[in-house]
Amino acid sequence: MDKIIINNCCKVLVTGANGFVGNRIVSQLECQGFIVSRAVRKKNTDLEIEVGSIGRDTDWNDALEGISCVIHTAARVHVLNELASQPESLFYETNTLATSNLAKQAEIKGVKRFIYISSVKVNGELTLSGRPFLETDESAPQDFYGQSKRDAEQSLHEMVAHANMEFVIIRPPLIYGPGVKANFASLMQAVKRGYPLPLGAVNNQRSLVALDNLVDFIVTCINHPQAANQTFLVSDGQDLSTPELVRGMAQAAGVPARLIPIPVWALQAGASLLGKGDAVQRLCGNLQVDISKARSLLGWVPPLSVEEGLRRAMCV
């Protein structure tokens, strides 16, 4: 199939348009002259298209009218303290079947490119020191969220063999920026308030991606011919240890970093007793991604430094 070049006169559908990532994508696209349709679960303004809770039977007909490119960010996100009685089925319905359903309807409506925001969790949870994840690695998701994202990717790969629509799959690691929530937000607040943190002895490396770097990469993939039918890992291109991250947050906030060197084994033991083992694993373990493919194939360079990304996240 010939590569399709999409210019900024095309009409783009962004799902999850009022979410952390989707909202920023909409703003950036509109600044660059794209025509944007915003699909949301429940609309608050006349600019949005309400689609409800997405699944295998969602009707996307109105939302897809005249669309050339879909950017699919809507998902059931990773839940640390899962309360649902059947989380596996919920993740599969929302992240796998809903994605397949949207992609099939998009292809029928003549959409040229489908950009899917997946997750590094498709690769796995941890890397060996100096052995970052690659796009070609065998997938090894460790939870229902990662498995549902992997299955959605597989459905897109199966479609492209007989479809007239191109896809792009993007697997970001932890995304941070203004409005970030969950554990990263809690860590930022702890740093801002000057709490002593028992992380001074952690010696790890983790890849992160600033929200604006991710959005810049997504926009690049809308119209770059070499992005067609490719999977990409994306990050800031500068990995940090957890202590370096805390120091960077503190510098951005203009406060001192208060790090206490508690042995990692002691942190892990205490966290396990409190049922917080997974959270400490993320703070202490390695998770690195190699973005050489994005650099070489697309010529993409993250526009924001880690320092600027943290400044934007902290100064809200």
Catalytically active residues, by annotation: 145
User: Are the C-beta atoms of 107 and 163 separated by less than 8 Å?
Assistant: yes
C-alpha to C-alpha distances, 157 to 189, 191, 221, nearest whole angstrom = 41, 42, 17
C-alpha to C-alpha distances, 308 to 178, 179, 216, 302, nearest whole angstrom = 12, 15, 15, 11
Q: Map tokens 């208060």 to a residue.
A: 258
CA distance 99 to 152: 6
CA atoms within 13 Å, Cβ hemisphere of 146: 15
Q: CB under 8 Å, gap of 24 or more: what pairs does 257-260 form?
A: 257/191, 258/194, 258/195, 258/196, 258/197, 259/196, 259/197, 259/199, 259/200, 260/196, 260/197, 260/198, 260/199, 260/200
User: 127 is written with which tokens?
Assistant: 């890397």
User: 198 is written with which tokens?
Assistant: 């028992």
Residue 217: in which H helix or E strand, if any? helix 211-223
User: 250 is written with which tokens?
Assistant: 């503190």
CA distance 124 to 25: 26
CA distance 21 to 19: 6
User: Are the C-beta atoms of 129 and 164 separated by less than 8 Å?
Assistant: no
Could you give the 3-state DSSP secondary structure of residue 288? coil
CA distance 262 to 294: 37
